[in-house]
Amino acid sequence: IRWVSLLGIIGMTVNAVSQLYMANEIITRAWMIRAYGEGSVGADLISGMSAGTLDYYYLIGFGLVGFWLLVVNWLARQHEGFPEALAWVGLAAGLACWFEVVVQMFSVYVVGWNMDFLIRIPQIAAVTLGPLWFIGVGVIFSRTKAIEQESRAVSTTASPI
């Protein structure tokens, strides 16, 4: 599972760097539009351009993270590592990530088909299910850590007979 976790870390890193890059692009374009003057031809051209990304199809960012979510939650379901509902939320989040990759690829190759409505579905799922899953895993890990600390404290204070 370590190699899958490494893939998930790579995917999350590419997502974070890509978001920072897009934010920089937007800020740069805002300054350029301000320099040209709003309503000018140059400003209209710049505002019509989409911000660049490091992961055009989201294959690395969403694909690797989705694969990681699918594997971790599938194994957690089989070995009862997480509560059943949390594992299903993680599986759904992983599928939503892969649905995002598939929709992005089709939106590029299927010309003339407006896929904006399909692109929003996995984005909404990722924005809701992802944080819900991470919060749930955090709660489980914090409870497990607290139980371990209590058991260590009890075992060190117990006097041998």
Q: CA-to-CA distance for 140 and 73, rounded, in angstroms?
A: 14
* Complete DSSP assignment for 62-107: IIIHHHHHHHHHHHHHHTT-S-HHHHHHHHHHHHHHHHHHHHHHHH
Helix H or strand E segment including 53:
none
Residue 90 CA, chain-centre distance (Å), reads 11
Each residue of 37-87: pLDDT tens digit? 777 766 666 666 666 677 777 888 889 999 999 999 999 999 988 899 999
Picking from 141, 104, 139, the residue whose alpha carbon sits closest to that of residue 121 is 104
What is the pTM for the complete model shown? 0.76
**pLDDT per residue as tens digits for the range 105-137:** 877 676 666 667 777 888 888 889 989 999 999
